[in-house]
Chains A and B, each alone.
Chain A
Amino acid sequence: MTITETAPSASRTIKVDALARVEGEGALTVRVKNGVIQDVKFRIFEPPRFFEALLVGRPLTDAPDITSRICGICPVAYITGSSQAMEDALGVDVGDGIRRLRRMMYCGEWIESHVLHAYLLHAPDFYGLEDSIQLARQAPGVVERALRLKKLGNRILEVIGGRAVHPVNTRVGGFYKSPDRAAVRGLIEPLKQAVEDSLATVRLFAGLEFPHFEPDYTFVAMHHGTDYPIERGRIVSNRGLDIAIADFEQHFDEEHVAHSNALHGVMKDGSGPYMVGPLARYALNHAQLSPLAREAAAGAGLGPVVRNPYKSIIVRAVEVLYACEEALKLAEDYQELAVPAIDLPFRAGTGTGCTEAPRGICWHRYGVDGAGRITAARIIPPTSQNQKQIEADLRAVVQDNLHLPDDKLKWRCEQTIRNYDPCISCATHFLTLTVERD
């Protein structure tokens, strides 16, 4: 056994001033004294952009286009959640055709976002590489497969939404134009190839080495009786929570802490942090996965519940496989919509919406008046819900790995944060404007 050169009594500070391979700007400080962790701060310094305040007074029909700008990686989460919330406030049911088309578009976002994260941002950690360019030099076929899959995810977004980043074809009530049937059918053959590519992806990531770490998480995700949750369902946990989307605020809250420009999600029952995202979705919806996705997961050595956060990379690959199969099914069944959008009967009210963004549940509530204007807005993105859990993981990981030299411990901390695929731009959208300094 190697004797650590770091004396146990030494004070150590692990600092990552600017976290790489995540979306947005974040930093980390860990202070250790006499072998005991004094402080762990995952600091988000992405400037707040005040979306909730900016929305008030705008037409409710602006919400999907504006909220999509919270995030360039997962705009569909904002488009879909805000549209649903407005439709809920107006008492509109868009029907199955529009809903299925939204689901198919959302599959495109899952594919592009998960593949970007898993292959290009997260996988280099497991190989000890700085980035995917280094990975491409060592394993060009692997990166080519990643780019092929990611491109197909973007292509689905383009065919249905008109553009990969910030789609233009979506609106409250449905779509501006029903996507062309031939263009949708043109996705079928590439999706069949993508199912094969995803199976290879699951196998590839199953062969990685994972640190031993299995906390007893509180998982929170959406759940639906028949579908793996993407765009509909109730909110459930592995501790017995089972609520309608509209009741979210009765059970969850956000705390404002000094060291971060993002709020921290907490459960109102005082039970502490919770986790949203792939591990939570998978654990709470294993039975709703397709048979092929379940089989691939089992082949990769995953049980029906995965608690090792580093293995989220395999779970993401399983979800990419599911999204490819689901998009394939929806593309094969697709018929052009005779009426691409439902008319909106304006009335005063409040509505909620929630969907599974690639990194976890993204919850919305809006108030609207009878003239179709937004009177109030609240958006709770996945990354702010995960922040407390990220800090809890970091605390445990540092405690378990104090024997590592600083550079290795620092890298392990970064990898621990990247397990969550944090979308930092999302996490800081919401603060109301406060201090003014000119």
Chain B
Amino acid sequence: MAAVPTKPRRRPKLAVWKFSSCDGCQLSLLDCEDELLAVAEAVEIAYFLEATRAEIAGPYDISLVEGSIGTAHDAARIQQIRKQSKVLITIGACATAGGIQALRNFRDVDGFIRAVYARPDYIDTLATSTAIQDHVKVDFELRGCPISKEQLLEVLNAFLNHRRPVVPPMSQCIECKMHGTVCVMVARGTPCLGPVTQAGCGNLCPAHDRGCYGCFGPKETPNVAALTKQFAALGRTDGDIANALRSFNANAEPFRAEAQRRETPPHRVPS
């Protein structure tokens, strides 16, 4: 039988982009110690500043985007990246919800300006820190502060093989049940965001005797108001509750809305 000449398969081009962030999510890719070299064989790393000074021009098959949009320059840059990317995946709480730096979105901006820095004219910033999907179409969002490296490998694997990633949108609460971890809220009265937070961290905080602090952001269809009612029953003030919701995913809509409601209780008409 005559040999059929085969063309060597072109490896998909992977780019990793960074916006306002701590670098922890792209570090999770470098932290895949057992799989890093396999990933580097499966894809062509075309742009990944933290790892290489080599740059290969776009378009890119997959772009991983870390960080939030906090400057006008970055708001323009993400548009260019979207144009060059067939698939755009955001990684981490900064990229999916604006990150911890989005706390500035809720602050009295006048107060900030009064506390002016030595040379404010040197600083270029927007008043807000926003998610990537507030600016461009996003094909998949990977949650977490930081992301889980197992989930990252799953998502890369899925997109490279043209299948849907197995990243369930269920709650952290379900992970506790699956691991047999005793509920810290029921057993000890410790406030826990597990019922409204998406699974994926691997059930970390309750297994370490603390309540979940929501670093994976809101799960699909969370009932945040019902949970915070329980926090109030455990003696937490509205201020405590707003604080608990305002951390790494503060600008994710379900957390943002409930924190705002708790911070400014609705005016009640006396009956």
Contact = CB atoms under 8 A, between A and B. Distances in A.
B187 interface: no
Interface stretch (B134-142, B159-167, B169-177, B203-211): B203-211
B54 A165 contact: no
Contacts of B74: 47
B50 A62 contact: no
Interface in B15-51: 18-25, 27-28, 30-31, 33-34, 36-37, 40, 45, 49-51
Given A20-B52, A433-B104, A72 B146 contact: yes
B154 to A, nearest CB: 18
A37 B33 CA distance: 42
Given A177-B209, A435-B120, A436-B127, A53 B52 contact: no
Contacts of B37: 133, 136, 140, 143, 147
| Chain B binding surface, main DSSP class | loop
Contacts of B215: 166
Contacts of B104: 50, 53-54, 433
Given A59-B243, A130-B54, A151-B33, A433 B109 contact: yes
B117 A176 contact: no
A432 B115 contact: yes
B118 interface: yes
Given A21-B52, A258-B122, A435-B120, A425 B33 contact: no
A25 interface: yes
Interface stretch (A63-71, A234-242, A294-302): A63-71
B246 to A, nearest CB: 9
A98 interface: no
Contact of B23 (A24, A154, A256): A24
B224 interface: no
A132 B51 contact: yes
A25 B71 CA distance: 14
Interface string A29-65: 0000000000000000011111101100011001001
B60 interface: no
Interface in A247-279: 256-258, 261
Given A72-B27, A130-B52, A431-B117, A166 B145 contact: yes
A390 interface: no
A75 interface: yes
A287 interface: no
A425 B51 contact: no
Given A136-B40, A434-B125, A164 B54 contact: no
Nearest to B39: A133
A53 B104 CA distance: 9
B213 interface: yes
A414 interface: yes
Interface in A150-171: 150-151, 154, 162-166, 168-169, 171
Contacts of B25: 72
A176 B116 contact: no
B20 A49 contact: yes
| Listed residue (A62, A65, A72, A177) with the most chain B CB atoms within 10 angstroms of its CB | A72
Nearest to A72: B24
Nearest to B124: A435
Contacts of A130: 52-54
B227 interface: no
A103 to B, nearest CB: 19
Given A151-B33, A165-B28, A69 B100 contact: yes
A364 B101 CA distance: 19
Interface string B49-81: 111111000000000000000111010000000
A132 B45 CA distance: 12
B66 to A, nearest CB: 9
User: In which size bucket is the chain A interface?
Assistant: 35 or more
B113 interface: yes
| Listed residue (A53, A165, A171) with the most chain B CB atoms within 10 angstroms of its CB | A165
B13 to A, nearest CB: 14
Contacts, number: 197
| Listed residue (A18, A23, A75) with the most chain B CB atoms within 10 angstroms of its CB | A23
User: In which size bucket is the chain B interface?
Assistant: 35 or more
A70 B54 CA distance: 27
B123 A65 contact: no
Contacts of B126: 436-438
A413 to B, nearest CB: 12
A148 B36 CA distance: 12
A147 B124 contact: no
Given A48-B125, A131-B52, A256 B117 contact: yes
Contacts of B267: none
Contact of A69 (B19, B22, B30): B22
A165 B27 contact: yes
B152 to A, nearest CB: 12
Interface string B231-258: 0000000000001000110000000000
A434 B120 contact: yes
B33 A432 contact: no
Contacts of B205: 162, 168
A54 B103 contact: yes
Given A21-B53, A69-B248, A151-B33, A432 B117 contact: yes
A379 interface: no
B76 to A, nearest CB: 13
Contact of A151 (B34, B51, B124, B146): B34
B24 A166 contact: yes
A49 B70 contact: yes
Given A58-B243, A116-B30, A434-B120, A20 B113 contact: no
Interface of A: 18-25, 46-51, 53-54, 58-59, 62, 65-66, 69-73, 75, 112, 116, 120-121, 130-133, 136, 140, 143, 147-148, 150-151, 154, 162-166, 168-169, 171, 176-177, 256-258, 261, 414, 425, 431-438
Given A48-B123, A131-B53, A436-B113, 9 more contacts: A50-B112, A54-B104, A116-B30, A133-B37, A133-B51, A150-B33, A168-B204, A433-B127, A437-B72
Give the 5 A-B CB pairs with smallest separation, nearest first: A72-B24, A434-B120, A131-B52, A20-B53, A130-B54
13 contacts: A20-B49, A22-B50, A65-B213, A72-B23, A72-B24, A130-B52, A143-B37, A147-B34, A151-B33, A151-B34, A432-B116, A435-B121, A438-B127
